[in-house]
């Protein structure tokens, strides 16, 4: 079972959820996962788009009341 890093970026205006995700992916091993919590819909859409573009793996996006949870697996 791979380890999962949690980033609670709710209400974080700078650098924001996607920048945090990019940074976190650099700090983990291939196969490990990052979960980003975001309060803005923009990131919930941006993240899957970016992940597909660079070739990481989307594990899931879930709306949880007032925020989104986005889980990504480092693939390379």
Catalytic residues: 14
Closer of 9 and 72 to other proteins (Cβ): 9
Are 39 and 58 in contact by the 8 Å Cβ rule? The answer is: no
Are 33 and 74 in contact by the 8 Å Cβ rule? The answer is: yes
Closer of 29 and 64 to other proteins (Cβ): 29
Q: Least distance (Å) from other proteins to the CB of residue 14?
A: 5
Are 40 and 17 in contact by the 8 Å Cβ rule? The answer is: yes
Closer of 53 and 64 to other proteins (Cβ): 53
**Which residues contact other proteins (rule: CB under 8 A)?**
5, 7-9, 11-20, 22-23, 26-28, 46, 50, 53-55
CA 8 to chain centre: 10
């Amino acid at each position: 079972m791979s380890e999962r890093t949690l980033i609670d970026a709710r209400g974080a205006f700078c650098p924001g959820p996607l920048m945090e995700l990019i940074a976190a992916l650099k700090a983990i091993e291939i196969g490990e996962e990052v979960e980003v919590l975001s309060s803005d819909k923009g990131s919930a859409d941006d993240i899957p788009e970016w992940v597909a573009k660079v070739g990481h793996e989307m594990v899931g996006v879930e709306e949880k009341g007032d925020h989104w949870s986005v889980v990504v697996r480092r693939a390379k």
